[in-house]
Amino acid sequence: MQTEQDTAPIDSHPLVFTGRGGEYFRVWIVNVLLTLVTLGLYTPFARRRTAQYFYGHTLVADSPLEFTAQPRKMFFGFLLLVVLYSGFKLAANSGNQVAVNVFMLVGAVCAPYFWASAMRFRLGSTRWRGVRLQFTAPWREVYLASWPMFALALVWIALITGLVLLVPGLSGDPDKATLLPSGATAWMILGMGLLAFALSLLCVIRLSFNYQSLLVRRACVGTQAGRWKPVFGDFVRIWLTTAGFFLLLVLLGGLLLAGLTSLAAESLPGGEGAMKFVIIGMLTVGMLLAFFLMLAPVRAYREARMFQLVWSNVGVSQIARFKCRLGTGSYVGLRVKNILLTLLTLGLYRPFARVSEYAMKIESVTLYVKGGVDQLAGQLVAQQDGLGDALADVAGLDLIG
């Protein structure tokens, strides 16, 4: 038997971003100057101003989002991260391997708490039409989803320990600093490194999938929970395609470098050896710079594919869903253009680049709602738990950007 909700008409509402690069430039330049003057202490306040600008100019069904975070919590979370990072760097620079391993294990144990706390803070600070979002995942579920992080820490602890055992010079003993690994040991080190890289990549992909799915499924609007459809294989395919894209760019870049180097060597007379050396050196430096620039389209490709996958397969209970029409090629082209303009302007184009990329992603998403938006918003406000609002005001720290 069909209910009234099942037969309700479905309205489409394309998301709109009303921000402009010139407007955000004024926010950005003030943030940069105050962060420099305060030696970085203004960072959390700068992030709050940035979030308020982008949220306030993002219209969902013609209503803007609101970011109501308390600056005090953002500042405390920022200081906590600075202290933890400083402690890890101190342990690493001191050469105390036991302390480094302890920091890695403690970091892996605490990271899920920090992530979930940050998600509670972020969603609890987000409102739409008076409705507050909430992240309701219990701690047990958060830690179960975090198992790839613990596996990643163990992989790197095992790798570092193995390297110290195989290469005596890494132990910090000056008497063994000049000892080099034998041929067989070098192959073992290479094999260990490749294995650690492969396992680390799988852990990162799995952790990304676990956290994104948990965030969507346990995010609530009123009492309506999120709906998640992607599977782990979708994430793996995107990452593998991205890796293939990167290897192709590296191969083409290497062939181009080899061709240009050969052409430069043949075009100069034999007596101009110094000039050949200079030209080949310049080509090498240029291609190394190009190699780093290759990371921009690769990252943009993965970012666009992930955005398409997620925003075409999520919704809110059975009352709303999203569809995404972001063009991968268009987004990669925009990212490349923004990188070049940012380099040419010595970084001053960065706020314009950020606005253009955010606008392209947001405006590619359409919200489909069963029934009228006004009726839906009224229902969500009525369903909103006052106790949940109060807890959201006191729980959580902003620990990630």
Q: Mean pLDDT throughout 159-174?
A: 66
Residue 205 and residue 132 in one domain: no
CA distance 51 to 400: 13
Whether 248 shows a pLDDT value over 50: the answer reads yes
Domain count, the chain: 2
Left, alpha or beta for 72 (phi > 0: left; psi -120 to 50: alpha)? Answer: alpha
User: What element of type H or E holds 186?
Assistant: helix 183-217
For residue 149, count other CB atoms closer than 10 A to its CB. Answer: 22
User: What element of type H or E holds 396?
Assistant: none
**Residue 290 resides in a domain:** no
**Average pLDDT of every residue of the chain:** 81
CA distances from 214 to 111, 143, 388 (A): 15, 11, 19
> Residues, the chain, total?
401
Which of 160, 195, 217 corresponds to the end of one domain? 217
SS3 call for 220: strand
CA distance 261 to 284: 8
Which of 19-28, 191-200, 355-364 bottoms out in mean pLDDT, i.e. has the lowest?
191-200
Residue 223 and residue 90 in one domain: yes
Q: Which residues contact 82 (CB under 8 A, 6 or more apart)?
A: none
Q: Mean pLDDT throughout 161-177?
A: 61
**Residue 242 resides in a domain:** no
Residue 54 and residue 172 in one domain: no
What is the reported pLDDT for 387? 43
Q: Mean pLDDT throughout 273-287?
A: 62
Q: How many helices (H) and strands (E) does the chain have?
A: 13, 11
Q: Token match 């008076």: residue?
A: 130
For residue 391, count other CB atoms closer than 10 A to its CB. Answer: 14
Q: Which residues contact 298 (CB under 8 A, 6 or more apart)?
A: 242, 245, 246, 249
Residue 54 and residue 131 in one domain: yes
For residue 4, count other CB atoms closer than 10 A to its CB. Answer: 8
Residue predicted with more confidence, 295 or 44: 44
What is the reported pLDDT for 399? 43
Residue 30 and residue 57 in one domain: yes
Residue 167 and residue 31 in one domain: no
**Residue 243 resides in a domain:** no
Residue 85 and residue 210 in one domain: no
Percent pLDDT > 90 in the chain is 42
Q: Mean pLDDT throughout 381-392?
A: 51
* 316 and 226 Cβ atoms separated by less than 8 Å: yes
* 155 and 200 Cβ atoms separated by less than 8 Å: yes
Whether 269 shows a pLDDT value over 70: the answer reads no
- What are 110-129's pLDDT values in tens digits? 889 989 988 998 998 999 88
Long-range (24+ apart) CB contacts under 8 A made by 264-271 are: none
Q: Mean pLDDT throughout 231-255?
A: 87
Percent pLDDT > 70 in the chain is 76
**How does residue 81 score in pLDDT terms, banded at 50, 70 and 90?**
confident
Its domain, for residue 146, covers 138-217
Structure tokens at 379: 């229902």
Residue predicted with more confidence, 307 or 6: 307
**Residue 35 resides in a domain:** yes
CA distance 31 to 54: 14
Q: Mean pLDDT throughout 185-193?
A: 78
**Residue 54 resides in a domain:** yes
Whether 180 shows a pLDDT value over 90: the answer reads no
Residue 32 and residue 91 in one domain: yes
CA distance 316 to 347: 39
**Residue 395 resides in a domain:** yes
SS3 call for 64: strand
CA distance 356 to 239: 25
Which of 217, 238, 262 corresponds to the end of one domain? 217
Which of 157, 192, 217 corresponds to the end of one domain? 217
**Residue 295 resides in a domain:** no
DSSP classification of residue 366: E
Whether 271 shows a pLDDT value over 50: the answer reads no
- What are 334-381's pLDDT values in tens digits? 999 999 999 899 999 999 999 999 999 999 999 998 876 766 666 666
Residue 52 and residue 68 in one domain: yes
Beta-carbon-side half-sphere exposure of residue 215 (alpha carbons within 13 Å): 19
Q: Mean pLDDT throughout 29-44?
A: 94
CA distance 102 to 93: 14
Residue 25 and residue 132 in one domain: yes
Residue 70 and residue 143 in one domain: no
**β-pair type (131-135, 126-128):** antiparallel
SS3 call for 272: coil
Across the strands, what pairs with 135? 219
Angle at 324 between CA 129 and CA 16, to 5 degrees: 40
